[in-house]
Structure 1
């Protein structure tokens, strides 16, 4: 089974749009780091808590050795230690992919040949797998586009048109 290493911003977006439950239904094992969980607000952590307790969300911690290794990497300026930790974690196996909307993290993943996807890819899966209706996804995407979000406008428009026709 594929393992989806999930970044803070994906959790924030899925919680904000009430689509979080679908993440655990797409046929991947969902994991993250304790450092990502600590970046979330208290209420967001509370939303994730049942998934952690049930074992649907696996949370790992970076060791002191991991942190030293990250600090010795030639990582791009501006990439946080938390994000670099996700890259380190995903590099440990072939079946890993990273879920993020962060452009710097995405380009770092591409540099290390790690598969990376964002919220639009997830929404596409939710639609294709029948986990969300077109209307639900249109509402969720519109909500994300209203906030401070750097989603590609053209790609969003295509999806809004496709999903609203369903």
Structure 2
């Protein structure tokens, strides 16, 4: 079972897309921190509390010591405390990071920590037959209006491929 440390922006996008349940059906070992949970709105926190209670989401209480903080800061001094904690947790647990945060992703790459974003999650949902390519294209199109930070080229490439795989023609 792949261990993934998940950032708030992934949880927020999953909530917007209505994909929370199928995300937890991927068979991943999903971990985050209380600081990440606290970055979400209260209704979103309540949604994820269910997954914490049933054990599908493990939430770490985490504090950075000065030595760890210095090491992470060398990778990227633009990281928030929450992102520093996520990155350090990923290093300690030898886990992959799921995040759409540009600075966190770059720091992961510098430290050779595997990192992916919401598009990877869509890919995994399709590969796991949890959603169809056509449904993924429909949801991603909607998500692009909500999350303007998504990489437009990568989104467009997937939309074309998924629509072709579902028998739809792109406009």
Q: How does 1:1-166 map to 2 (within 5 A)?
A: 1-63=1-63, 66-73=64-71, 75=73, 76-94=76-94, 96-165=95-164, 166=166
> What is the distance in 2 between the residues matched to 1:74 and 1:52?
28
5+ residue gaps, structure 1, are none
Shift of 1:160: 1.0
Shift of 1:134: 2.0
> What is the distance in 1 between the residues matched to 2:147 and 2:132?
24
Are the structure 2 counterparts of residues 37 and 69 from structure 1 closer, same or farther at C-alpha, using a change threshold of 3 Å? farther
Query: Please, what TM-score do these two structures have when normalized by structure 2?
Result: 0.89
- Does structure 1 retain, via aligned residues, the 8 Å contact 2:13–2:143? yes
> Over aligned residues, Cα RMSD in angstroms?
1.5
5+ residue gaps, structure 2, are 167-171
Are the structure 2 counterparts of residues 33 and 69 from structure 1 closer, same or farther at C-alpha, using a change threshold of 3 Å? farther
Query: Please, what TM-score do these two structures have when normalized by structure 1?
Result: 0.91
